[in-house]
Amino acid sequence: MLLNIWKKYSYIIVLSLLVLSLSITVLLKLDSNGDQYQQIKVEKGDTLWTIADKYSDHYTMTKEDFINWVGSENDLVSYQIKAGDSLTVPVKNIPAYKNTDYQLASE
């Protein structure tokens, strides 16, 4: 009986399994892209506190939690950072046109 079902519907079964596996792969790929955080370069005078202030409109945790997250995710032994360091911050990637850190040219 199973052999007859396989002979009649094998292409449908194989196609269904292929579609299912591709769907799962796509869903997992989309889900993993949801946690992309912003990479920043530390500038002269930056501290974790000033970075937390700078991005305060883009996250919902407390500043202390933000600083602890940055320290943990970036494997910081101490919370000292220096200019040129690259850090991942818990802020979704912000498109360049939404970045408000710009200065207008003076006349």
Asked if 4 and 50 sit in the same domain, the reply is: no
30 plus 54 within the same structural domain: no
106 lies in a domain? no
Same-domain status, 75 and 28: no
Return the closest-CA partner of residue 52 out of 73, 69, 35. 69
The secondary structure element, H or E, covering residue 89 is: strand 86-92
d(CA 82, CA 45): 8
Q: How many domains does the chain divide into?
A: 2
| Pair 48, 79 in one domain | yes
More confident residue, 44 or 99: 44
Q: What is the pLDDT of residues 47-56, one digit of tens each?
A: 999 999 999 8
* Residues 59-107: tens digit of each pLDDT: 888 999 999 999 999 999 888 899 999 999 988 866 554 555 556 666 5
Do the bridges between strand 37-41 and strand 86-92 make them parallel or antiparallel, or are there none, so unpaired? antiparallel
Nearest to 42 by CA among 102, 91, 82: 82
Domain match, 48 and 78 both: yes
Domain ranges, residue 4: 1-34
